[in-house]
Structure 1
Amino acid sequence: MTITKRYYQHYNMLALCVLVWLSGFMLLFNSCGSRTATALDSGDTIQLVYAKYLQLIRHKGYTEAVVLNPWKQGGELHRYLLVPKGLEGDEVAKKLADQKTAITGTTPCDILRTPLTKSIITTSAHCQLLYELGRQQAIAGVCDLEYILIPDVQRRTSHKSRPYISNCGSSMQPDIERIMSLRPDALLLSPFENSGGYGKLSALQIPIIEAADYMETSPLGRSEWIKFYGLLYGSEKATSLFSGIEKSYLQLKAFAAKLPLGYSILTERKTRSVWYVSGGRSTIGTLLQDAHARYLFADDTHSGSLPMSPEQILAKADKVDVWATKYWGDHPLSRAELLQEYPGYSQLKAMKTGRVFQASTSSQPYFEQTSFHPERLLREFIILSHPETTRSLGALRYYLRL
C-alpha cells in the first residue's frame, strides 16, 4: 500500500470519527433544547375534570399554569410559573428566568412567587373567592368599588382600617398612579376578546393574571379554577371548597332528574333593539337542563349569548312559563315599569300568569355568591321550574316574585 493511499485511509477514518462525534453532539444538543422547550410535558398534570381553558402541571420546584385562549382554538393567553417563596424557590426562579423564552415561546409568561400577598382584584367575584379561601388579606386594591357588595371590603377602604384596601378606580380606566404606588405582586383581571391588550397596565411590569374563568361553558368549569387561585394564594382550602361545590351540584342535578320536566324559563330582558338569550350549550343553558327545566333554546349549539330580535322571542311568548331576570336599582321593576320599558313584554305567558321573578344585583351579593357557586343557581332554577320542591329545598334565595 502506497504512502498516499495510507494517508487517505487515515484521513477518511479521522473524518468519519469527527462526523460521528459531531452527530452525537448535535443529537445531545437538540435533545437538551427539546427538553427545555417542552419542560411542561415532563411534569405531572393536575387533573381538571370540567375546566376547558386551564391546564395545571406540577414540576419539581414549581407549578405551571396555562390559560388557554377561549376565542382561538388551540391558542394560549398566558402561562404562569408558580414558584414558592424561599431560598430553594430563589434558585428555581433564577433558572426559570434564564429558560423562560425557551419554555413558553411567544406566549406571554410570568414567574410568580407564591403565595401572592398583595394583589389588585378587579372583580367582586374574585374578591369574594379570596374571602372563602381565607386569603382576603391579600387584597391590596380593588376596581369598581361601588359594585362590590362585600361589607368587609367596603370597611377596609376606610383609611382607619387595617389592612387597608385602596380604591383603584374603574376597571375600564384604572388609576395607574395609585396602582404603581401600591407595588402589588399581581393584577387579577378578566380578559376580553379583541381588547387590544391592557394599555398602560402592561407597561407597569406587574404580572397580569388573566382570569378567563368566566368564559367556561360548563357550570362546574368556572368553579374548578378555584384550584388555580388556591395555588396562587397558598390556600389549602381550595380543594375541599371545590369538592363541596361539586358534590352539592351533582346531588341537586340527580334530585332534579327524578322530577317531571318542569316549567320553561326565560332569563333575560330586552336591551335596546336586541334581546340576548343564553345559548343552548352555555352555562345558563346547562344549568336549566340540569334543573330539568324546559328551555326554549335548548337545541342551540352556541356556548355564549345569542343576540335575537324581540320579534324572535315574542314568537315563542306563549311558551315562556317563567320569566326570571336580574336588575340593578333601588327597587324591583313593577309590571308598569316593565311594560314602559317594552310593551311587548305583555305577550309573555309568564306576564299573564304572574310567574315573573327578579333578582337584585344591587341590594344582594348575587354575582359575589353565585359566580363560583353554580349549585346555588341550580337550586334557584329547580325551584323556579318545579315550585313544589320548596317543601324539600326551601324558599328562593335570590329571586323574588313580582
Structure 2
Amino acid sequence: MSTALLAAGCQSSASKEQPNVPEADAEIVDFTHKAEADYAEGFHISYHDNYKLLEIINPFQDRVDTLRYSLVPRGIADQVNVKNTREIPIPVRTLVATSTTHVALTDMLNANETITGMVGADYIYTPEVRRRIEEGIITGFPEGELNKEKVLALDPDLLMISGGQSSQFDNYRVLMDSGIDLLVNSEWLETTPLGKAEWVKVMAALLNKEKLANEKFDAVARRYNHLKAAVDTVEDKPTTINNMPYKGAWFVPGGESFTARFLRDAGADYPWYDSGETGGLRKAFEVVYRQGLEADVWLHPGTAKTKEDILAKDERFRDFKSFRTGKIYHNYRRSTPSGANDFWESGVVRPDLVLADLVKIFHPEIAGNHNFYYYGNVE
C-alpha cells in the first residue's frame, strides 16, 4: 500500500485540532450548515474551528480501515495542518469522477460544472453532463481506464474513486505524488437505499453545499419513509424472483443486500431473505427456476424488454406464472442506446422514486396515480 494512502488512512490516531482562525480570515470559514449521517454507515463528518473532518469508514473489501480527510477552506489551507489526515482544500472547484453515481451527487447539488473529467463517459445518462462531454468541456475516459497523463494535464482539485481493493491505490501513486487529491467514495457498500443516497452529503461537504444537500435529502427520506409506512400495513406480499441466469448459474440478491431491502420496503416476499448475505448469491438454474414457476413477479430479467427477448434465452420461461400474467418488469425505462441507464445514476439519490415504482408493481392500490419512472413492463 502506498505511503500516501497510509497518511490518509490512520484508523485510530486522534486528530489534532488547530487554533481558531485568525480574525482576518474568519469570513472564509462558515460552517453554519452541517451535514450528518443518519442512515449511512460508511462516513462521518465533524466540524471544527477551521476544518471539517471527513472519515470514510471501512472503504475496502480486503481490510478494515478508516480514511481521514481534513477539508480546509481554500483561503487558509496553508495555515492549517491536521494530524494524520489527507488535506483537501474546499470548496472543490474541479473534479474527475470515475462512477456514474458521482454524477448523481453533483447533479442533485446543481454542481455538474464541477466535473471536468469522466471515466465511463459513454454510460452517462444525465443530459447536461452528456452534453458537456460531447462538447469537449468534460474530458471523457473509457470505462475502466484512466489515462494518467490526461488527468495530470487536467490538474483537477480532486479525483474521486470508488472503494474496492486497497491495492488499487498503487495505480494512483503518480497522481497523488503530483499533488492531485484523491478521495475514496464507498457509497456502493451501503446496504440500505437511504444510506446510499445520503452520500450526497459527502459531496456537499466538499462543495460547501450542506444546506442544499440537507434540504434535498430530507425531502427524499420523508417521501421514502412515508411510502414504506403505507406498505407496512399490507399483509398480502406478492412473491418475486430477480435477474436472469448466466452460463447455467443464477445470481440473486442476498437477503441483507441493497436490493433485498428495497423488496422488503416495497412489500414483496422473496425466497432468500434469510440468507444473511449482503452481496449476491450464486444459485443453480433449477433452484431459481422452481421458484419462478409460481412467483407473482419477475424483476430485472437481464436486458430483456420483450417476452420474445426472454424466450430467446430459454423457452422454459414460458411456464413462469409472471410470464403468463405479464408481471415482468425491467429497469431500463430511462436508458440510452450507448448503454447508459439512469437507474444506476439518479436512482442512487432518488430511492423514493425507485420505491414508488416497486410499490406500483407489488401494491398498485397504494401507489395511486404514480407513473413508472425507472421501471417498465416487459411487453
State TM-score, norm by structure 2.
Answer: 0.83
Q: For residues 113-192 of structure 1, what are the structure 2 equivalents within 5 Å?
A: 113-159=89-135, 164-170=137-143, 172-192=144-164
**Residues 360-381 of structure 1, C-alpha deviations (whole Å, 9 max, x = no match):** 1633522222112211111111
Cα drift, residue 154 of structure 1: 2.0
Aligned: 1:58 with 2:31: no
Matches within 5 A, 1:158-237: 158-159=134-135, 164-170=137-143, 172-192=144-164, 194=165, 196-205=167-176, 206-235=180-209, 236-237=211-212
Equivalent residue for 1:334, pick from 306, 309, 312: 306
**Structure 2 residue 359 is the aligned partner of structure 1 residue 388:** no
Mapped to 2, the partners of 1:195 and 1:270 lie a distance apart of: 31
Change (3 A) 1:298 1:188: same
Q: 3-state SS of the aligned residue for 2:273?
A: coil
Aligned match of 1:276: 251
Q: How does 1:231-380 map to 2 (within 5 A)?
A: 231-235=205-209, 236-325=211-300, 332-360=304-332, 362-363=335-336, 365-380=342-357
Check the 8 A contact 2:191/2:258 in 1, yes or no.
yes
**CA contact under 8 A between 1:262 and 1:294: conserved in structure 2?**
yes
Decide which of 77, 83, 87 is 2:72's aligned counterpart: 83
Unaligned runs of 5+ in 1: 1-35, 104-108
Maintained 8 Å contact 1:147/1:362:
no
Query: Using the alignment, how far apart are the partners of 1:299 and 1:216 within structure 2?
Result: 19
Counterparts of 2:287 and 2:60 in 1: how far apart (Å)? 27
Which structure has the bigger radius of gyration? 1
Q: CA deviation at 1:142?
A: 0.5
Structure-2 change in CA distance of 1:268 and 1:158 (3 Å): closer
Cα distance in 1 for partners of 2:63, 2:139 equals 38
| Alpha carbons of structure 1 residues 72 and 355: separation in structure 2 relative to 1, 3 Å | closer
Distance 1:373 1:41, change over 3 A: farther
- Cα distance 1:298–1:83, how it changes in 2: closer, same or farther (>3 A)? same
Number of aligned residues: 344
Deviation at 1:77, TM superposition (A): 4.8
- Please give the secondary structure, in 1, of the residue aligned with 2:376: strand
Give the counterpart letter for 2:152 in structure 1: M
CA distance in 1, matches of 2:372, 2:296: 17
Evaluate the alpha carbon distance shift between residue 199 and residue 74 of structure 1 in structure 2; reply closer, same or farther with a 3 A threshold.
closer
1:335 maps to amino acid = K
Partner SS state of residue 55, structure 1: strand
What pairs up with 1:35-50 in 2 under 5 angstroms? 37-39=13-15, 47-50=36-39
Cα displacement string for residues 168-223 of structure 1 (whole angstroms, at most 9, x for unaligned residues): 333x221222111000111112122x363144423212222111001101111111
Alignment-derived partner of residue 24 in structure 1: none
Read off the aligned partner of 1:349 and give its amino acid letter.
K
Q: Which one is further off, 67-76 or 221-230?
A: 67-76
* Cα distance between partner residues in 1 of 2:374 and 2:149: 38
1:71–1:156 Cα change, 3 Å: closer
**Larger RCO: 1 or 2 (CA < 8 Å, sep 6+):** 2
Task: Output the amino acid matched with 2:188.
Answer: Y
Aligned residues of 2:94 and 2:116 also touching (Cα < 8 A): yes
Aligned amino acid, residue 288 of structure 2:
I
Rounded Cα–Cα distance in structure 2 between residues aligned with 1:283 and 1:388: 25
The alpha-carbon distance between structure 1 residues 195 and 272, as it changes in their structure 2 partners (threshold 3 A), is: farther
Is 1:46–1:58's contact at 8 Å kept on the other side of the alignment?
Answer: no
Deviations 1:114-167 (A, max 9, x none): 1101110112221132022021111111011111012211221244x6xx2111
Q: Distance in 2 between matches of 1:181 and 1:110?
A: 22
Contact 2:52 2:72 in 1 (8 A): yes
Letter in 1 for 2:330: Q
- Kindly provide the CA deviation profile for residues 51-101 of structure 1, in whole angstroms up to 9, marking residues without a partner as x: 1111222222111111122556982252211111113x4311xx33xx3xx
Q: CA deviation at 1:46?
A: 6.5
- The range that moved more, 362-371 or 209-218, is 362-371
Question: Which residue matches 1:10?
Answer: none
Q: 1:339 to 1:225 in 2, by over 3 A?
A: same
Assess if the C-alpha contact under 8 Å between 2:95 and 2:115 holds in 1: yes
Structure 2 Cα separation of the partners of residues 199 and 147 of structure 1: 26
